Amino acid sequence: MTRILVRGGTVVSATGSQPLDVIIDGDTVAAVLRPGSAVLGADPAASVDTVIEAAGKYVLPGGVDGHTHMQMPFGGTEASDTFETGTRAAAFGGTTTIVDFAVQKPGVRVQDSIAAWHDKAAGNCAIDYGFHQIVGDVNDESLKGMAELVAEGVTSFKLFMAYPGVFYSDDGQILRAMQTSAELGALLMMHAENGIAIDVLVAQALRRGDTAPYYHGTTRPWQLEEEATHRAIMLAQVTGAPLYVVHVSAKQALEQIVQARSKGQNVFGETCPQYLYLSLEEQLGAPGFEGAKWVCSTPLRSRAEGHQDELWRYLRTGGVTTVATDHCPFCMKDQKDMGVGDFSKIPNGIGGVEHRMDLMFQGVVDGRLSLERWVDVCCTTPARMFGMYPRKGVISPGADADIVVYDPNGHTSIGVGKTHHMNMDYSAYEGFEIDGHVDTVLSRGRVIVDGGRYLGRPGDGRFLERGLSQNLL
């Protein structure tokens, strides 16, 4: 077994930061020691195969992105990153675990949907991966299937209050799926937007001739996110299901979540870098068809209404539980451009799996969150939320040696032709400058990225059988 010493760095965890050396033995962390510890002997390098020098750098647990859609069929096309390209891009950005969504289409068994996602991912991933299951057809058979999936390590299920005719579930279906989730102890994930009302607003906008990407945002007002979030919380309360609301972008929706949790209900909120940094006015409102790059749901919100600042505040103070990317990339050419002249035909989704750790580190540099909270929301709490802790999300003896050496004095310029490895013909964060840099990434003890070079292979990543959530109240 290969032994590696990561020497001289500051190990950052969700609870503190201190100078520590890390010894890796094969796949896992063997020890975390004070520098100069007698355990390493007079010549520490002599007892290991490789030394990674981390002086002046942060040493963190690999990032855990709990919300991705690799090669997902959606919006009349398919998300442009495969499991191979998307997980490699994730690795470049310091993410060593993803949880992707298997999709159940109406008429297909959930067991067959998960099998199809195993086929897509197996042998192709650069990093470890788990699956959530989208239940697109709530019926007796799929409710029974949920129990089988939990036994196979797929312990969370996503429903949609949006996208009527595609993934949409009505309140009765949601209630039934929540009852099953509650019985199983499984996490119920919700896309909380009132899709029925949104579709009326969309049809009215198109009839008025409001066809530009900007109107994707105005036809999905925050009230319809707040209303759906509130309804989901009430249904979860009736059933006792633990609820995780995905891609929250409206400050009012977060208020609903925070209030419910403060009353003792298991309700959690995820946000994404796009909702912290980007806006309706600046991005969706870009001239011509440019705004299509940022069409996603929930939509980017108005900066004038103060959503972004409030999301940062909730992130700092614990109201937001995790930061994921909702990585769902589409190219402008032949994909987003299907919606020229009709914003409702633009495939919904933004790619960002490569940049989450950097973008959130910039929040640390800007004084918006602490170093420890960065690791907490990007690594440790997602691992706990989705039943992977302490194997993932922490650097401690016995944990998988998924480790990132991060240089706070380095620099990262985001953009196509710069640090872009995702299979997209544009970057949603083009021109962003980050005051930090992912230097070295280890996945289960193997260096897969170093100094901007990819050293891994497709198939390095393995499927993770997850347990039930470890983050419940």
Q: Which residues bind ligand URP (CB under 6 A)?
A: 69, 191, 247, 296-297, 326, 328, 348-349
CB of 175 to Zn ion, least distance (A): 19
What does the DSSP 8-state code read for residue 3? E
Instruction: Between 146 and 324, name the residue whose CB sits nearer to ligand URP.
Output: 324
Structure tokens at 260: 């419910």
Instruction: Between 324 and 371, name the residue whose CB sits nearer to ligand URP.
Output: 324
User: Which of the listed partners (Zn ion, ligand URP, none) does 21 bind, with a CB threshold of 5 to 8 Å by partner kind?
Assistant: none
Instruction: Between 219 and 297, name the residue whose CB sits nearer to ligand URP.
Output: 297
Residue with tokens 């990674």: 52
**H or E stretch at 439:** strand 437-443
- What DSSP line would sit under 194-248, residue for residue? -HHHHHHHHHHHHHHT--STHHHHHTS-HHHHHHHHHHHHHHHHHHT--EEE-S-
CB of 77 to ligand URP, least distance (A): 12
Q: How many alpha carbons fall within 13 Å on the CB side of residue 370?
A: 12
CB of 426 to ligand URP, least distance (A): 16
Of 238, 233, 266, nearest to 252 (Cα)?
233
Are 330 and 80 in contact by the 8 Å Cβ rule? The answer is yes
CB of 164 to ligand URP, least distance (A): 13
User: Which of the listed partners (ligand URP, Zn ion, none) does 348 bind, with a CB threshold of 5 to 8 Å by partner kind?
Assistant: ligand URP
Residue with tokens 């083009």: 430
CB of 102 to Zn ion, least distance (A): 12
CB of 10 to ligand URP, least distance (A): 35
Of 360, 367, 346, nearest to 404 (Cα)?
360
Residues 6+ away with beta carbon under 8 Å from 168: 160, 161, 162, 195
Instruction: Between 88 and 191, name the residue whose CB sits nearer to Zn ion.
Output: 191
- What DSSP line would sit under 94-128, residue for residue? TEEEEEEEEEPPTTS-HHHHHHHHHHHHTTT-SSE
CB of 328 to ligand URP, least distance (A): 4
Instruction: Between 21 and 326, name the residue whose CB sits nearer to ligand URP.
Output: 326
Instruction: Between 163 and 312, name the residue whose CB sits nearer to ligand URP.
Output: 163
Say if strands 403-407 and 322-323 run parallel, antiparallel, or are unpaired. Answer: unpaired
Instruction: Between 327 and 466, name the residue whose CB sits nearer to ligand URP.
Output: 327
Are 311 and 302 in contact by the 8 Å Cβ rule? The answer is no
CB of 67 to ligand URP, least distance (A): 7
User: Which of the listed partners (Zn ion, ligand URP, none) does 461 bind, with a CB threshold of 5 to 8 Å by partner kind?
Assistant: none
User: Which of the listed partners (Zn ion, ligand URP, none) does 96 bind, with a CB threshold of 5 to 8 Å by partner kind?
Assistant: none
Instruction: Between 163 and 361, name the residue whose CB sits nearer to ligand URP.
Output: 163
Say if strands 10-12 and 58-61 run parallel, antiparallel, or are unpaired. Answer: parallel
List residues binding Zn ion (CB under 5 A). Answer: 191, 326
Structure tokens at 441: 């990434």
Q: Report the Cα 283 to chain-centroid distance in Å.
A: 21
